[in-house]
Structure formats: C-alpha cells, structure tokens
Amino acid sequence: MSLLAVGLNYTTAPVALRERVSIGAEAVPDALAGLRAACGVEEAAILSTCNRTEVYCTLGDGEPGSVVDWLQAYHDLPDRQIRRHLYTHPNAKAVQHVMRVASGLDSMVIGEPQVLGQMKTAYDTALKAGSIGSPNRLFQHSFSVAKEVRSRTAVGNHPVSVAFAAVRLAQHIFGDLRDYTALLLGAGETIELTARHLHNNDLGRMIIANRNLGRAQDLAAEFSAYAISLTDLHQHLAEADIIISSTSSPVPIIDRQQMQAVIQLRKHRPVFIVDMAVPRDIDPAVGTLPDVYLYSVDDLREVIEENLRNRQEAALEAEEIINERVISFMDWMLSRDAVSTIRALRGQAHSIQQEVIDNARRRLQQGGDPELLLHEVTRTLTNKLLHMPTTQLRDASARGRDDLLAAVQELYDLKNHKRR
C-alpha cells in the first residue's frame, strides 16, 4: 500500500484554473466513487476550497499517474492546461503535505484555522461516502498534529487571514470605516470572520446577504447587521461602499451590467469589492468599470504578506514538529506492514506444525515408539520449516543476491551464532 497526495493550489495555479478544477461539496461523493472505480484506489478523500483542490488516497494496484489522469478527465481539461500546475506527493511526502495543510502552513495565510475545519469536513464527507475507513489514521494524526502546532507555537496567534486582509485593504482605501456600509455575500466561516473584523473596526453599517435567509439572520444578530436574501440583492447593491463575497455559487452573482447601473445610482461614488469565492462570485469584467476597485483572492496576497512576518519564526518551529510526526507516522505504517508479514509467517509455521503433529499422532495410535517418534517429529518439523528459506537462499546466491543473504544473516543473528 502507498499513500498519494495529488492536486493544485494558489501557488501552482491561477484562480481561473482553480475554479475550473474546483469540486463542489454536493459533487464530492460521486467524484470519490468515480475516482475509486477508475484508479485502483483503496481509500480516498477530496479537499476542494478556494485556494486548492487535492486528492488524498491510498493506492493498491493503481499507479500515481492514474489519479492525475482521472482529475484531468473529470474536469475535461486539456493535458497541457492542467498537468504543469499539478503536484504529486508520494508516501512520506504525502503525509508531510497533509499535516502541513491541516496546520495551516501550506495556506496563503500561514496558520489560518479555516483549512483545518475544511479538512475535517472533507474527512467526514469521505466517511459518509464510504471511501475511507473509520478511524483513518492519517487524518486523525494530522488533526492531532495541527492541534499540537497551535498549542506549542505562535503560528496562529496573530490576526492574519484572507478576511483580515480584505478588511485591512478596505481601510487603506477608505480610512475610518465608520461612515461606510459593507455588503457581505454568503454566511460561511470566511464571511463570519470578515464580519467580525469589520465589526471590531467600527464599520458604520453591515448588510449580510445569503441564499439561506435564516443563516444570514443568525449572523446578522451577532454583529448588529441587517440580513437579506440573495434574491433581494439588487435592491441593496447601491447602498454598499464595500462588497465582500464568499458564496458557493457555481456562477457569478454580480455581472458588469448590474454594477454599471449601481455606479450610476451611486453618482460615481467608489465601490471596493473583494471576491473571495472560487468559482468567482463577481464577473471579472466588473473590474473594468470606473469607480470600481475589484480584488480577487489572489490580489490579496501582497496585503497578506505584509502581515505575515511575525509568523515566520513560529512556522519554522511548526515545520520541525511536523517533520518529527511524519517520521513517527511512517514508522507506524512500516510496522503495520511488518505485522501482516509476521502474521503470515506464523500462520505458515503453525500449519506445518499441525501437519507434523497430526502425522505423529497417527503413528502413535499405530503403536510407534514414542522416543523415536519424538526425534523424528523434531527433525521433520525443522526440515519443513527450513525447506523454503534454504531453497530461496540457494536461488538468491545463484542470482548474486548478496543483499538477501546478508538480510537473513542479520535476521537470524548468524554471525554471532558462528562465534558461539
């Protein structure tokens, strides 16, 4: 069995490709079934967020390239368009990658906590789909490592996130936010965090729009905001000086024509927009309008980097923890392989033992001499147990397999036996 992590993220692929490769939450169970059927995959989970789409799996008879082929075919993308953006991490590298993702060290914002929740959701989805067993040691170990990283380092102590970066950018443009209105599209973790940062920075007025009005109302109550349904969005767009969006809509919610009308209603007062969704909620053409300042998640990178410096030292410490935990996990994996080999070896030995005992019992019942039978049983048992190994060793010697001969000497401590 081998482990594999295959995917692309914000460092290897632009947002336009990431949104094409994104797999919506409702599509993941079917995607997992298709992956396992096509690739000889024993277990699999899929993590798909605005910043990454990754497949984590254990391979039986399948080849790593088959997972890449499946991902390409699933999205119907040309070979040249996707393969150069993909990374493939086998075994220990896969374990390290999963732990780094869970701990927030592979995120655009180092140490951000949202990805751990997203990974737990991916794990739960895979469990419900029957594509992994419970408990899955890799995921459980990664969650434990993420907790250890947060408790032992300061990697998550500073308020740096995509949501924080969006609010900081709004402050750069508008300065004091007390006289401005923000419209938030969505009601997930990212929007909740954005609402918290805006509220803590004394935003004048907040509107939260969501497909599920009840969820919007719950969030609005926490931050003294006004909740609306996305179906009523057009009635409130002109009120917003700041628009921050992060929904799971497969198509844009706001297009250029809508915003053009909004700008006229606002008499060309500027609008600051951050689209944190993948696929994008805001048609990129909106950014060509005068008086509109449109930023995508990728555009926030410069702002984010400005606020990351005090996390770098903590991240190095976290990497050391992860490297140690990768070694312990791989030791466990190797020991598990040894357990199955030992079980098979013991089973074979017990089978030979039972065959020799049954034969000796029959001869005793026929009046055989117990003393002679005892010597014969031990000789026969020894010969049967050593027959296959000695045959294989002779063959190994003929083929020049000195490594196998040396392994047997070490396994049975034969060098020390000769000294005795």
CB count within 10 Å of CB 30 equals 12
d(CA 217, CA 234): 18
d(CA 296, CA 279): 11
Q: Is 250 within 8 Å of 27 (Cβ atoms)?
A: no
Q: Beta 2-9 vs 87-90: how paired, if at all?
A: antiparallel
Choosing from 6, 35, 41, 50, the catalytic residue is 50
Angle 47-52-57 from CA coordinates, rounded to 5°: 40
Paired with 59 in beta bridges are 2, 41
Question: Is 57 a known active-site residue?
Answer: no
User: Which residues are catalytic, by number?
Assistant: 50
